[in-house]
């Protein structure tokens, strides 16, 4: 048996319930992993609320790290006793232990702690695909990155600095802007007090940025488009403020803009791609180019408070659940 957080209906944090569930043994292509730490992400809130509907009852959580306890037939990249971490397409990480598909579980290097592993996989692999697999980026390019003081954002600030990419950060307070600057952003805009598209144009001499990376969604959508240079790329990869409203393709024509809506789980679906993205992330962390900020920790049983803090924008860096 393993303590597990489930929901039986979509709703607010109050629907999160702690139960005991049987774990079982892995089948072909599966492993059983006992968690040491679990990551918290906005996608968990989207699933809980119903923005991303799930069949009930549902277990939440996409990211964790721990020890492999059992390995099913056909699994060759992991063995019993291995340290491992994952961001997985199959939810269910909010638990002490689980059986899950092995393809997206990655061996965790000794130089990276379980807490770091749980805090970095979904967020760090997101940054890897944004910078290396979505649109060509090179040293000297300029990126506008929203919510830059969050878990994904702080990794992105450091990643950009390590590759000579100019990153303009946005965040919702002066303190969060300062945190983004400390982690490698070259400029920071407080979008709670400033007109961020206007400020972007001032910072870029009226040219606009090459790429916008936007996980906020509804409230930043139009301003993001306005911040792009001609032929610029808009990457909308999240909806923290709500989904992007419907728009006409003609709205892109004035500057011949490009728009994409990628997801991590498409990129890491193939086993080899997942492992390669994870290795690139691990190399960034082990080299010291990227440091994982874990700014909040909640016991698994206090997951409701963790969701409340995340949705209220009271967090910085990464948040983990401890078991």
- Give the start-end residues of each E strand in the chain: 2-7, 17-21, 30-39, 58-59, 63-71, 83-87, 97-101, 105-107, 142-145, 166-171, 187-190, 209-214, 228-236, 258-260, 294-299, 318-322
**Do β-strands 63-71 and 30-39 pair in parallel, antiparallel, or remain unpaired?**
antiparallel
Closest residue by Cα to residue 171 from 183, 159, 162: 183
First CA to last CA distance, the chain: 14
DSSP-assigned letter for residue 244 = P
Q: How many residues does the chain have?
A: 323
Res 315: pLDDT: 86
For residue 311, count CB atoms less than 10 angstroms from its CB and return exposed for 0-12, middle for 13-18, buried for 19 or more.
Answer: middle
Note the pLDDT of residue 275. Answer: 97
pLDDT tens per residue, the chain (323 residues)? 999 999 999 999 999 999 999 999 999 999 999 999 999 998 899 899 998 899 999 999 999 999 999 999 999 999 999 999 999 989 999 999 999 999 999 999 999 999 999 999 999 999 999 999 999 999 999 999 999 999 899 999 999 999 999 999 999 999 999 999 999 999 999 998 999 999 999 999 999 999 999 999 899 999 999 999 999 999 999 888 888 888 999 999 999 999 999 999 999 999 999 999 999 999 999 999 999 999 899 999 999 999 999 988 888 888 999 99
Give the separation between CA 165 and CA 163, rounded to whole angstroms: 6
Give residue 217's pLDDT. 87
User: Distance of CA 207 to CAs 212, 223, 227, Å?
Assistant: 13, 15, 9
Q: Can you read off the two tokens belonging to residue 225?
A: 């488009």
DSSP secondary structure code for residue 318 in this structure: E
Please name the residue ranges forming H helices in 183-313. 196-203, 221-226, 264-267, 271-287, 303-311
* Backbone phi, psi, residue 140, to 5°: 100, -15
Peptide linkage before 234 cis (omega within 30 of 0):
no
Query: Look-up: residue for tokens 């303590």?
Result: 3
Radius of gyration of the chain (CA): 20
Element holding 304 (H helix, E strand): helix 303-311
Q: Are 59 and 3 in contact (CB under 8 A)?
A: no
* Residue 40: Cβ within 10 Å count: 30
What does the block give as tokens for 258? Answer: 């490009």
Q: All domains of the chain, ordered by start, with CATH? A: 2-122+265-322 (3.90.180.10), 135-261 (3.40.50.720)
By the 8 A CB rule, do 219 and 242 touch?
yes
Six token digits for residue 295: 């700014």
Distance, in Å, from the CA atom of 47 to the CA atom of 184, rounded to the nearest integer, reads 32
* pTM of full prediction above 0.85: yes
pLDDT at res. 198: 97
Residue 290: C-alpha distances to residues 148, 151, 247 (Å): 14, 12, 36
- Helix (H) and strand (E) counts for the chain? 9, 16
Q: Within 13 Å and on the Cβ side, how many CA atoms surround 58?
A: 21
Q: What is the pLDDT of residue 228?
A: 98
């Amino acid at each position: 048996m393993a303590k597990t957080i489930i929901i039986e209906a979509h709703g607010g944090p109050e629907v999160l319930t702690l139960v005991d569930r049987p774990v079982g043994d892995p089948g072909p292509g599966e492993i059983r992993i006992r968690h040491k730490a679990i990551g918290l992400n906005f996608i968990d809130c989207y699933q809980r609320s119903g923005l991303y509907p799930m069949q009930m009852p549902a277990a939440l959580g996409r990211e964790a790290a721990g020890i492999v306890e059992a390995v099913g037939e056909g699994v060759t990249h992991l063995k019993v006793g291995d340290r491992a971490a994952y961001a997985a397409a199959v939810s269910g990480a909010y638990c002490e232990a689980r059986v899950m598909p092995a393809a997206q579980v990655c061996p965790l290097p000794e130089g990276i702690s379980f807490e770091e592993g749980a805090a970095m996989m979904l967020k760090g692999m997101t940054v890897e695909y944004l910078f290396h697999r979505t649109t060509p980026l090179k040293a000297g390019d300029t990126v506008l990155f929203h919510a830059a003081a969050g878990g994904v954002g702080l990794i992105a600030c450091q990643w950009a600095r390590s590759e000579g990419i100019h990153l303009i950060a946005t965040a919702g307070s002066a303190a969060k802007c300062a945190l983004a600057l400390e982690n490698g952003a070259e400029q920071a805009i407080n979008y709670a007090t400033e007109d961020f598209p206007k400020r972007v144009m001032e910072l870029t001499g009226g040219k606009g940025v090459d790429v916008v990376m936007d996980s906020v969604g509804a409230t930043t959508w139009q301003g993001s488009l306005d911040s792009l240079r001609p032929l610029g790329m808009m990457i909308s990869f999240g909806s923290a403020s709500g989904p992007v409203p419907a728009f006409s393709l003609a709205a892109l024509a004035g500057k011949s803009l490009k728009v994409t809506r990628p997801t991590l789980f498409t990129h890491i679906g193939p086993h080899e791609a997942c492992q390669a993205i994870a290795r690139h992330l691990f190399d960034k962390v082990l080299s010291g180019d990227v440091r994982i900020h874990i700014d909040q920790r909640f016991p698994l049983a206090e997951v409701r408070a963790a969701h409340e803090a995340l949705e209220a924008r009271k967090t910085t860096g990464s948040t983990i659940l401890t078991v």
